[in-house]
Amino acid sequence: MSPPPLLLPLLLLPPLLNVEPAGATLIRIPLRRVPPERRTLNQLRGWREPAKLPKSGAPSPGDKPALVPLSNYRDVQYFGEIGLGTPPQNLTVVFDTGSSNLWVPSRRCHFFSVPCWLHHRFDPKASSSFQPNGTKFAIQYGSGRVDGILSEDKLTIGGIKGASVVFGEALWEPSLVFTFAHFDGILGLGFPILAVEGVRPPLDVLVEQGLLDKPVFSFYFNRDPEKPDGGELVLGGSDPAHYIPPLTFMPVTVPAYWQIHMERVKVGSGLTLCARGCAAILDTGTSLITGPTEEIQALNAAIRGFPLLAGEYIILCSEIPKLPAVSFLLGGVWFNLTAQDYVIQTTRNGVSLCLSGFQALDVPPPAGPFWILGDVFLGTYVAVFDRGDRKSSARVGLARAHTSGADLGGETAQAQFPG
């Protein structure tokens, strides 16, 4: 879930995408699947002006991937576990490509900050490696904000230990959204320009301190209800077992988000959106796929969606087999989403409910307008993010996720339309 306007495209080196590096240590942690309830991630989306880009150069690439399993909440909330301090204090965080700061609830939080008392909290007194910083920070979300102070301590993530990171101790979380969240905090995987108070993002720190060889990572979101795990975040590369080759690479167009150029969007063979090309953001912190209001309204009408509250659309579950594919032209390749991919199906009190995975969000200039390809898209396609180095620019690689439904052949992964 991303805080302010955070989303950035990262690029990956071909060898990492196609071959697992020799001698690489892959650390896999079994994750749980959380029972469905209320969705919270979309409500946290807020936008702000990005901070100034730090002067330090881009990290150097290398090779050792580390794996962080992800928990899945109603196929729209994915999070995993990290450790902070010595000994490590375990907390769950959303790994968010739309932001660049790490923050968690603090043991020192305000008495009336309800979310603090309902989540795991970091206790600086219980860590022998804790270093106070004291700088105040605040992140504004669409439905509230997080306030606190910056601190420094050791980060443990996916088997990587000893990284000294500056992170936020949240002292005040006034939004009720955080109260019901199934995660404790957020770990941003965006570019440095998005970091509040100029803090070095965790990914940059891992590379700079020699704990991660390559500024590359990938996400695999498991949406198979028969499987117990929620997926994996792979740091330092990607796991070829997660996707069906080939990977399609696109350059990052704005090095402040994981932003790429989208050539077109088609709904079936009739409706064309983003007709002249548009910007798109790959954001693991956004649950749904969002776009400009006028286009999303037309899209939902084409898939027989009925307006609900808060900009959501409901779909008759019985209509799913009849609904058209929604396809995105990226890097010259059509990426299909079938109705099974873009309709969120859940059951409450024995009643089936089907919601559209498309929601309107108007992001004003200069940052917008743009579409956000959130977890509804990234649950179907594995994304590899590569920050690049001094010789190569950032880019993103996409390929169909390796699930039983995707093994039916290329027609599932791609659609072909005239002109």
Q: What 3-state class would DSSP assign to 260? A: strand
Mean pLDDT on 22-38? 38
Same domain, 107 and 218: yes
Q: Higher model confidence: residue 153 or residue 40?
A: 153
* Same domain, residue pair 257 and 226: no
Task: Clarify whether residues 72 and 86 are in a common domain.
Answer: yes
Q: Is the pLDDT of residue 12 over 50?
A: no
pLDDT for 293 equals: 95
> 94 and 232: one domain?
yes
Question: Per the domain annotation, does 55 fall within a domain?
Answer: no
Q: In this predicted structure, what is the pLDDT of residue 73?
A: 45
Active site residue 75: no
Contacts of 366 (CB under 8 A, 6+ apart): none
Q: Which domain holds residue 149?
A: 26-35+67-238
Residue at which a domain ends, from 238, 259, 281 = 238
Q: Is the pLDDT of residue 36 over 90?
A: no
Check pLDDT > 50 for residue 90.
yes
- Of the residues 238, 273, 304, the one at which a domain ends: 238
Cα–Cα distance list, 79 to 96, 153, 154, 187, 411 (Å): 9, 21, 20, 10, 31
For residue 116, the tally of other CB atoms under 10 A from its CB is 23
pLDDT for position 6:
30
Tell me, yes or no, whether 93 lies in a domain.
yes
- pLDDT, greater one: 74 or 237: 237
Q: Is 187 a residue whose pLDDT tops 80?
A: yes
Q: What is the pLDDT of residue 7?
A: 28
Return the pLDDT at 239: 87
Q: What is the CATH number of the domain that holds 361?
A: 2.40.70.10
Question: Final residue of a domain: which of 238, 267, 284?
Answer: 238
Q: Does 256 reside within a domain?
A: yes
For residue 417, is it within any domain? no
Q: What share of the chain is helix, strand, coil (3-state, %, to 5)?
A: 15, 40, 45
For residues 230 and 268, membership in a common domain is answered with no
Q: 385: pLDDT confidence band, cut at 50, 70 and 90?
A: very high
Give the residue from 300, 319, 301 showing the smallest Cα distance to 358. Answer: 300
Q: Which is the catalytic residue, given 63, 75, 96, 229? A: 96
Same domain, 264 and 228: no
pLDDT grade for 246, boundaries at 50, 70 and 90 = very high
pLDDT computed for residue 22 by the predictor: 35
Most confident listed range (33-42, 93-102, 319-328): 319-328
Q: Which residue has the higher pLDDT, 160 or 337?
A: 337
Q: Read off the pLDDT of each residue in 338-342 and give the average, rounded to a whole number.
A: 96
Identify whether 9 is part of a domain.
no
Residue 280 pLDDT more than 80?
yes
Rounded to whole angstroms, the Cα distance separating 145 from 136 reads 13
pTM of the predicted model as reported, rounded to 2 decimal places:
0.83
**Residue 354, pLDDT score:** 93
For residue 142, name the pLDDT band (cuts at 50, 70, 90). Answer: low
pLDDT at 339: 97
Q: For position 395, what pLDDT does the model report?
A: 97
Indicate the pLDDT class of residue 327, thresholds 50, 70 and 90.
very high
222 and 249 assigned to the same domain: no
Question: How many domains in the chain?
Answer: 2
- Least confidently predicted of 12-21, 283-292, 378-387: 12-21
Amino acid 65: pLDDT: 57
The per-residue b/e assignment along 55-73, b for 16 or more CB within 10 angstroms, e otherwise, is eeebbebbbbbbbbbbbbb
> Are residues 350 and 233 located together in one domain of the fold?
no
Comparing CA positions, the residue from 228, 238, 87, 65 lying closest to residue 158 is 65
Domain-embedded: residue 54: no
Catalytic status, residue 362: no
Q: Are residues 214 and 254 in the same domain?
A: no
pLDDT at 2: 45
Percentage of the chain surpassing pLDDT 90? 49
Same domain, 233 and 247: no
Nearest CA to 165 out of 208, 218, 136 is that of 208
Helix/strand/coil for 283: coil
Q: Judge if 181 and 219 occupy the same domain.
A: yes
Asked if 400 and 243 count as a contact pair (C-beta separation under 8 A), the reply is yes
Say which of 283, 341, 375, 386 is annotated catalytic.
283
User: Interior CA angle at 346 toward 342 and 351, to 5°?
Assistant: 135
Residue-level pLDDT at 190: 92
Mean pLDDT of 3-32: 31
Please report whether residue 136 resides in a domain. yes
Look at residue 321 and tell me if it is in a domain. yes
Model pLDDT, residue 31: 33
Average pLDDT, the chain: 79
Q: Is residue 126 located within the same domain as residue 188?
A: yes
Least confident piece of the model among 60-69, 176-185, 200-209, 385-394: 60-69
